[in-house]
Structure 1
């Protein structure tokens, strides 16, 4: 495993992170989740990402229980706050009340004394930015949180937050968690340059495009049984990727990967990690074997010729915008 600094901070995270969205505490049996986390940890993964909103806290419970087997200082635990956790008017968003209460709830669910990286899951237009940033800074002062970040914020929102933190003398945000993969590249235009300027590293999610870039879905073929796309409870996002032109291009990428002697998933993750602004690629896994396969992407070095060939293939579906 290789490690990269997270933004301008001194925190080092594994190039491959393990996520729990749509898997742990949701569609994957608890023991399988524990097994995946064990394999990841044994392979050198130190970055584990979850969120309070993942099945209303169930994911945090599973991840926390699994990580309890390891020294607390040996891993980086990340979770998030924003989405509704109840029906009350203050049970969502980034108000001081919701942030403080949900941080305490996440700590209790995961059974830890502190969260390494606490992230704002989305931007809250209903709460003054300074209120949000002050609440996050207070949690750091209290020792409940070590670092703070955001997820899916625009370049303008990140710039505003960075400048506001400087003006108020608050600790800076160190990370952004956006979607980023071969099929969804919007961050390249403004978000990546802005984060580089402001000192935020990217911990990107969905590097395999919900499994599309694993090669299991083929053009002209039905969805495989047991796959994420066949699960009606969690296939809301993946369905938008299942276009014939997209799958044809993915097939060409798989052929390219085979010619290099690697899996398509490894090619896709290596492509994400080619970006120096990306600190970690967060890949989910529903089987331990998937974790082992994904971790090997750290060993893949894409030559300029290979990158050019990838760009040529992706140009065929330029403009594709999935729903996620």
Structure 2
């Protein structure tokens, strides 16, 4: 397994990580296989299955015999924590309370990277930067990052952190795959040299589309899209088989043909 420094930091993470957007069975066994393959980075969020994703990951890590805290890197995200008026967003109140709840579900003393899962236009950027630094100062997290933030907001956070002598975000977590390339390759490109911003991409297979298993227009029983009574999965399934989704499938079929020709 190859390990790389995460952004402008001394933290080393495996080039592949294990996420848990939805809960998964045999979590202990899956985490064990990941560790044996050299994966040391595990990613989750307070919004994943209403917090159950963090509970499952925490249990799976504790079930690993001889595993030391220095052997793995855990990142989690705060933004969507519930339905109450202060249970979402990036106010100092929710960043603090959301992080405490994340640690309780994970049963960890701290996480390695704490993400602002989405930008919050309603909270002043200085409050956001100070909130994540406060969590770092209290030992709840070691670093912080952003996810799906526009480049200008990341720059604003960087500049505020510099002005106040605070810790800046070390990484951004965008969606990046063959169907979603513009933001990372164009919008974020100048920031890599300017800030040495790290990237932890999510959905590299476009939620399974790029595997080709949906090319026939049906949903295999073993696939994620076969899950019923899950609001996010239902929306994803509808989008895949919408007019736009069908255009994506046609692109994927052409990509598959190109790969076969190249291999041949």
TM-score normalised to structure 1 length: 0.74
User: Is 2:11 the counterpart of 1:17?
Assistant: no
Structure 1: unaligned runs, 5 residues or longer: 262-324
User: Is 2:66 the counterpart of 1:61?
Assistant: no
Aligned partners of 1:218 and 1:247 also within 8 Å: yes
Higher relative contact order structure (alpha carbons within 8 Å, sequence separation ≥ 6): 1
Distance 1:257 1:122, change over 3 A: same
Shift of 1:238: 4.8
Equivalenced residue count is 254
Aligned partners of 2:240 and 2:246 also within 8 Å: no
Q: Tell me, in whole angstroms, the C-alpha distance in 1 between the residues paired with 2:15 and 2:262.
A: 21
Question: Deviation string for 1:262-310 (max 9, x for gaps)?
Answer: xxxxxxxxxxxxxxxxxxxxxxxxxxxxxxxxxxxxxxxxxxxxxxxxx
Alignment partner, residue 217 of structure 1: 214
Alignment partner, residue 152 of structure 2: 156
Matches within 5 A, 1:1-324: 1-21=1-21, 23-24=22-23, 28-29=24-25, 31=26, 33-68=27-62, 69=64, 70-83=67-80, 85-187=81-183, 188-219=185-216, 221-232=217-228, 233=230, 234-242=233-241, 243-258=245-260
Structure 2: unaligned runs, 5 residues or longer: none
Question: Deviation string for 1:211-269 (max 9, x for gaps)?
Answer: 011121224x42223322333421422543444443233223334445666xxxxxxxx
Q: Tell me, in whole angstroms, the C-alpha distance in 2 between the residues paired with 1:160 and 1:258.
A: 45
Question: Deviation string for 1:171-202 (max 9, x for gaps)?
Answer: 11101011010001121221232244222111
**Stretch deviating more after TM superposition (236-245 or 154-163):** 236-245
Question: Deviation string for 1:13-69 (max 9, x for gaps)?
Answer: 111111111x22xxx32x2x2222111111001111000111221100000111122
**Stretch deviating more after TM superposition (126-135 or 184-193):** 184-193
Aligned partners of 1:155 and 1:195 also within 8 Å: no
Q: Secondary structure at the match of 1:180?
A: coil
Q: Tell me, in whole angstroms, the C-alpha distance in 1 between the residues paired with 2:151 and 2:177.
A: 18
Aligned partners of 2:79 and 2:116 also within 8 Å: yes
Shift of 1:96: 1.1
After superposition, the CA RMSD in angstroms is: 1.9
Q: Tell me, in whole angstroms, the C-alpha distance in 1 between the residues paired with 2:83 and 2:224.
A: 29
Aligned partners of 2:116 and 2:146 also within 8 Å: yes
TM-score normalised to structure 2 length: 0.89
Q: Tell me, in whole angstroms, the C-alpha distance in 1 between the residues paired with 2:239 and 2:107.
A: 37
